[in-house]
Structure formats: structure tokens, C-alpha cells
Amino acid sequence: MTLRDQGMAIALPGDVSRIINTLTDAGYEAYAVGGCVRDSLLGRAPADWDITTSALPRDVKRLFRRTVDTGIQHGTVTVMFKMKGYEVTTYRIDGHYSDGRHPDSVTFAASLEEDLKRRDFTINAMAYNSAVGLVDIFGGKDDLEAGIVRAVGVAEERFNEDALRIMRAFRFAAQLGFAIDDETRKAASKLAENLQMVSAERIRIELTKLAVSPHPELIGEMYRAGITKYFLPEMDEAMECAQNNIHHCFTVGEHILEAMKSFEKPAGLTDREFEYIRLALLLHDLGKSRCKTTGDDGVDHFHGHAKISEAMSREIMKRLKFDNETIKTVSALVLYHDARPEPAPAYVRRAMNKMGTDIFRLFLCVQKADIMGQSDYKREEKLSYLEELGRVYEQVVETGDPITVAELAINGSDLMEMGVRPGPLMGEILKKLLDLVLEDPSCNTKQALKEKVRELNLTEE
């Protein structure tokens, strides 16, 4: 094996150095490996640090005080320092992934070289420690510099072992802004149908990473390479659905990708919220191909597409095993993406009540991105409407206007004191009062609301 010390120093975090030193002092080999080496060479902060070692799991467990058997059957032990965990994995060779989920067998390997060989892409197959320097057997550093995602070894063989790597190739290209090597791309295209054997959870993780990446439009490349049809066939329908309509200049699919791309994470949005928005954009128009009609004038219409897209979104996210919170939030955003409340407080309060305040805030982002993916026709008007809507929303939030029944100045026990028995009528009364308060927040006082109840003769007495 060629150890190529590039004279390149990577600043390993203290914990990582400690783990590597403990292992090497005990006579084993140990390196930081994979994504953390790639990201360090790119000057990016790695999300986590993985360590590969010649030590067997039981030796790792012996050498560290706190360990967790996270994936012991695959040779992985998590070493805990304070609240942080580091995955330490024994050099290994993976067998075939016939369930598309786990390798059928894992054999511990004798050398770092064998361990690096089982990894997916050259840029992910480098190891580093401070004594040896960078170990780069497959030209990962050159590929990093050239911006290329290239399979380690023969691409077809690697995708045959584990088809998820097909999605990972596009995911890394999208995250890093890299090109995919020709042979790797051809193999991905040829073996795409094997993705059907890969578990929904693994596909979901890669699809989500792609969706939030700087280049979500690579989903379009996956379509053209015949890959999307094996995990998101609805996207193929969208890519093939023309929109002869003045508001549009792309097919539904291209519009989706443009909208996603146009939406970069603004300050003030959490990672999770950004994910909701990018996913909602991916799904928001998938129903269009199912409700397209063409008028006598040749103009295409998509009546009711938001509702159809919502139903499809739920089905797709269930199929891909998204969590319930994501399904709920994203499908609400899909349902409301075309809402156009008047930019006046009472209308905005009602819309906030209907959607939920948090959804409303995200909805503003979704609609903006949607507009950015449309033709220029009336773009300025559309954007200034949305800005106005945003201003009114901010104002409503700032004023603290009540939006939900819980914020009413009156509650169930007040009504009971007035002689209303708990039950459906009470719910109806509260809803009526909320309607009044949404229209005019100044009437949200106990006295005024009690008067309303009497005035409208809402009690049972």
C-alpha cells in the first residue's frame, strides 16, 4: 500500500486526537476517516468525526471508559467524551447488501487499504492521522481538487453491492457542487432499478440531504439519468408535464427545481424549517399532471392541484417513512401554497388561524420561492403583494393579536359560570367569539365577550 504523506496537516479536534493516540499507544492503527477528512481538506467544518482502527471492538471497549455498542455487529463502538460520541469502527470488508440495508456479512480486515476500498467514493475514502499524514490511495485529493465524485474501483460493481450509492453520488455532487465522473454516472443510470431494493429510510435520508443542498436541481439530472422513477415516479410525471400558461415558462418539474434552487436559507429559519420548505417545494405541484386541462385557447389549467398535491405529498412521505411532524408540516405547506389572503390584518389573522401561525410564516417563504420559479409575468406585482402580506403578518405578530381559542379573554369556566354546559355548544360559542375577535381584536376582553354571549343569546338559558 502506498502511504502518501502529502505534508498536509488537518487540525483534529482534541477528543479525536485523544482517541487516536490511545489506540496507537496500545499498539493499534487508528485514523480519522471518510467525510471528516473530505470536509477538512475542503476547509469545511465536519459534521462528525469517524475513526477507523485495526483494533477489534472488544479492544476499543477495553481502552475507553465510556462506550456504547451502537453497531457492534458491524464493528462500530461509539466512544463517549462528555456528551459527544465518536464512532470507532474496526477495519472491515463489507459483503453484498442484498436487503439494500445492511451488508449480509462483515469481515474484519487486516489493513487500512482494504477498509478504504469498501468505501463509496474516492473523496470519501481518505484517512488521516498526525503521525502518518493523509492516506489517499484512490486519488481522492485530486478528485476533490477537480470537483469530481468518482466511485472507488469499478463503479458498476460498487453500485451492485449497494444501490444507495447511486443516490449518494448525486447527493454529494449536489452538496459540494461537483460533477459526477462519466463512468460513475453511466453505472448509476444502468443500475438505477436496484434502488427498488433499498430501504425507504435510507432513500429518505439521501433525498432530504439532496433537497436541502445548494444544488437541488440535480434531481433533474437524476430524472434524465432514469433514476427518479425508482423512488419518486411522481417527479417523472412532473418533468413531463408542460405548462402552457402565461405564469409559467417551464415544465412542472423544471419549475419545481427552479423554485427549490431559488430558495436559500435566510437568517431566522432553523435547519428543520428550511428542510420543511425545500421538501414542500419539491412536492407542491406534483398534483398538476393529474388535473391538467387545456382550454379551447390552448391554455393549460390545473384546477384543484394544491389539494391533489397535498394528498400525494402525504402518500409519498409515508412511503418514504418521514416522521409525522414532517408529514404534517410539509403537507400543510403544500395545501396552502397558493393561498392569497388579502394583505389586511383581519384576513391575515384568519389565514393564520386556519394554517397555524408557524405554518403561515413558512408559507410566505414557499410562495416566494414558487413565484421565483415562474415566468416574469407580473413577477413584480406578485412579489410586492407577498411583501405586503409579510408586513401585515409581522404587525399582527408584534401586536400580539389573538389567533386561537386559547388566546381568547374568556374560557370554558367563564362560560360555565354563565350557565353554558360543557359540550359541543360551548365549542361553537368559543368559535363564534374567536371569529369576532379575529375580525376585531379590540373586543377581546372578558366583559365584551360576555356581553356578546348574552347579546347573541348563545347560552342555553
119 near ligand ATP (CB under 6 A): yes
State in angstroms the smallest separation of the CB of 146 from ligand ATP.
Answer: 18
444 near ligand ATP (CB under 6 A): no
State in angstroms the smallest separation of the CB of 265 from ligand ATP.
Answer: 17
Segment near ligand ATP (CB under 6 A); pick from 7-15, 161-169, 240-248, 364-372: 161-169
User: Helix crossing, 379-399 with 345-355: angle to 10°?
Assistant: 80
Q: Which residue number has the CB closest to ligand ATP?
A: 35
Q: Which position among 41, 79, 112, 120 is part of the footprint of ligand ATP (CB under 6 A)?
A: 120
Interacting partner of 406 out of ligand ATP, Mg ion, none (Cβ under 5 to 8 A depending on kind)? none
How many helices (H) and strands (E) the chain has is answered by 22, 13
165 near ligand ATP (CB under 6 A): yes
Nearer to ligand ATP, 104 or 388 (CB): 104
Question: In whole angstroms, what is the distance from residue 219 CA to residue 213 CA?
Answer: 11
Nearer to ligand ATP, 176 or 365 (CB): 176
Q: Which position among 162, 258, 285, 310 is part of the footprint of ligand ATP (CB under 6 A)?
A: 162
DSSP string spanning 216-280? TTHHHHHHHTT-GGGT-HHHHHHHT----STT-SS-HHHHHHHHHHH----TT--HHHHHHHHHH
State in angstroms the smallest separation of the CB of 402 from Mg ion.
Answer: 45
Cα-only R_g, the chain: 28
216 near ligand ATP (CB under 6 A): no
Q: CB neighbours of 390 closer than 8 A, spacing ≥ 6?
A: 364
State in angstroms the smallest separation of the CB of 48 from Mg ion.
Answer: 5
3-class secondary-structure state, position 127 = strand
Nearer to ligand ATP, 50 or 237 (CB): 50
- Give the three cell numbers for residue 218: 440535480
For cell 460513475, what's the residue?
184
- Give the three cell numbers for residue 185: 454516472
Segment near Mg ion (CB under 5 A); pick from 30-38, 158-166, 170-178, 374-382: 30-38
Nearer to Mg ion, 33 or 453 (CB): 33
User: Are 225 and 185 a contacting pair, CB within 8 Å?
Assistant: yes
State the distance between the two ends of the chain, measured CA to CA, in whole angstroms. Answer: 91
User: Are 133 and 7 a contacting pair, CB within 8 Å?
Assistant: yes
Interacting partner of 120 out of Mg ion, ligand ATP, none (Cβ under 5 to 8 A depending on kind)? ligand ATP
User: Are 153 and 117 a contacting pair, CB within 8 Å?
Assistant: yes
Give the closest residue to 30 by CA, choosing from 128, 114, 120, 110: 128
Question: In whole angstroms, what is the distance from residue 191 CA to residue 100 CA?
Answer: 13
Question: How buried is 224 (Cβ within 10 angstroms: 0-12 exposed, 13-18 middle, 19+ buried)?
Answer: exposed
State in angstroms the smallest separation of the CB of 125 from ligand ATP.
Answer: 6
State in angstroms the smallest separation of the CB of 260 from ligand ATP.
Answer: 19
Segment near ligand ATP (CB under 6 A); pick from 158-166, 377-385, 401-409, 440-448: 158-166
Give the closest residue to 22 by CA, choosing from 77, 94, 104: 77
150 near ligand ATP (CB under 6 A): no
Dihedral angle sign, alpha carbons of residues 181, 187, 190, 195: negative
User: Are 127 and 116 a contacting pair, CB within 8 Å?
Assistant: yes
State in angstroms the smallest separation of the CB of 78 from ligand ATP.
Answer: 13
34 near ligand ATP (CB under 6 A): yes
List 93's β-bridge partners, or say none.
Answer: 107
Q: Which position among 11, 45, 47, 83 is part of the footprint of ligand ATP (CB under 6 A)?
A: 47
Nearer to Mg ion, 45 or 406 (CB): 45
Segment near Mg ion (CB under 5 A); pick from 31-39, 286-294, 332-340, 442-450: 31-39
State in angstroms the smallest separation of the CB of 50 from Mg ion.
Answer: 6
Q: Which position among 35, 100, 153, 412 is part of the footprint of Mg ion (CB under 5 A)?
A: 35
Interacting partner of 164 out of Mg ion, ligand ATP, none (Cβ under 5 to 8 A depending on kind)? ligand ATP
- The footprint of Mg ion on this chain (CB under 5 A) covers a number of residues equal to 1
Nearer to ligand ATP, 201 or 387 (CB): 201
Nearer to Mg ion, 119 or 361 (CB): 119
Q: In Å, how far from its chain's centre is CA 398?
A: 30
Binding residues vs Mg ion (CB under 5 A) = 35
Q: Where along the sequence are the contacts to ligand ATP (CB under 6 A)? A: 34-35, 47, 50, 119-120, 124-125, 162, 164-165
